[in-house]
Amino acid sequence: MIVLYEFLPAFADLLAQLGDPLGMQIAFLATIISWSVAVQ
């Protein structure tokens, strides 16, 4: 789970750079997930 936590932000940044609308949505979800994991 720790590996996933460190990987998600980089994955979200990569998708955001693609400029794909679907990628942006996935990046947003990944950011929310990483936030919820960090808060817990």
Rounded to whole angstroms, what are the CA distances from 2 to 6, 22, 28, 34?
6, 26, 19, 10
Per-residue pLDDT at 19:
66
Per-residue pLDDT at 6:
72
Per-residue pLDDT at 38:
81
Q: How many domains does the chain have?
A: 1
What are the start-end ranges of the E strands in 1-40? none
Per-residue pLDDT at 14:
75
| Total-model pTM | 0.46
User: One digit per residue, pLDDT tens: the chain, 40 residues?
Assistant: 566 667 777 777 777 777 667 767 777 888 888 888 888 7
Q: Residue with structure tokens 């808060």? A: 39
Question: What is the residue range of 17's domain?
Answer: 2-39
Per-residue pLDDT at 29:
83
